[in-house]
């Protein structure tokens, strides 16, 4: 399978047409929704690679549902569908990070390449977000270690290198990460 997809449209025939095109192209349609609330719930349970969602739906429209899906990281990306090409909706879609915007009626020639590009872009974005998360965590750990070095330097009247070696040696002796040693040193200084 090329990717897991949720389809959200209040028109059953449109959902069926999209499903047929996607399954023919070897995509896995993991769920179908008739409104924005159902789309959000399906995304929570399936974490799809992509959501293909109509803008005009009852209860909760595609723009509001899409914004929530993206902000909560419930799907890799969203392609919005509409019967009308409206600059206002296009701007709203860009604002929350939709990956595509297609005008009905859909055809396979435009849908499949857009789906392929959107899934690839969504995966790339997730990878970058994970890297950012990892780097942010390392930076926070580095800040705590630096603070712990400062505490040790003042308390023991030692150099920065000696303080770092003290933390590193404690980490090896106690078989725990330097971060834990540093947090304890900083905590005991507060």
What are the pLDDT digits (tens) for 36-52? 999 999 999 999 999 99
Query: pLDDT tier at 189 (50, 70, 90 boundaries)?
Result: low
179 to each of 149, 172, 185, how far by Cα in Å?
A: 12, 12, 10
What's the CATH fold of domain 2-105?
Rossmann fold (3.40.50)
- What is the third-level CATH fold of 131-186? Arc Repressor Mutant, subunit A (1.10.10)
What whole-number distance in Å separates Cα of residue 116 and Cα of residue 175?
47
**Structure-token pair, residue 20:** 């047929």
* Domain locations in the chain as residue ranges: 2-105, 131-186
Confirm whether pTM is higher than 0.75.
no
């Amino acid at each position: 399978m090329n990717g897991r997809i949720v389809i959200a449209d209040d028109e059953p025939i449109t959902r069926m047409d999209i499903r047929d095109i996607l399954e023919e192209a070897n995509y896995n349609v993991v769920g179908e929704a008739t409104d924005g609330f159902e789309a959000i719930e399906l995304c929570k349970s399936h974490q799809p690679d992509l959501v293909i969602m109509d803008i005009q739906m009852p209860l909760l429209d595609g723009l509001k549902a899409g914004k929530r899906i993206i902000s909560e990281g419930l799907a890799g990306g969203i392609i919005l569908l509409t019967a009308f090409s409206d600059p206002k909706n296009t701007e709203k879609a860009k604002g929350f990070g939709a990956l595509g915007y297609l005008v009905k009626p859909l055809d396979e020639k435009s849908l499949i390449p857009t789906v392929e590009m959107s899934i690839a872009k969504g995966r790339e974005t997730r990878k970058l977000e994970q890297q950012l998360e990892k780097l942010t965590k390392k930076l926070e750990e580095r800040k705590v270690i630096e603070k712990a070095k400062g505490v040790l330097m003042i308390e023991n009247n030692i150099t920065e290198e000696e303080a770092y070696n003290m933390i590193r040696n404690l980490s090896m002796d106690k078989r725990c990460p330097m971060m834990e040693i540093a947090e304890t040193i900083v905590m005991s200084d507060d």
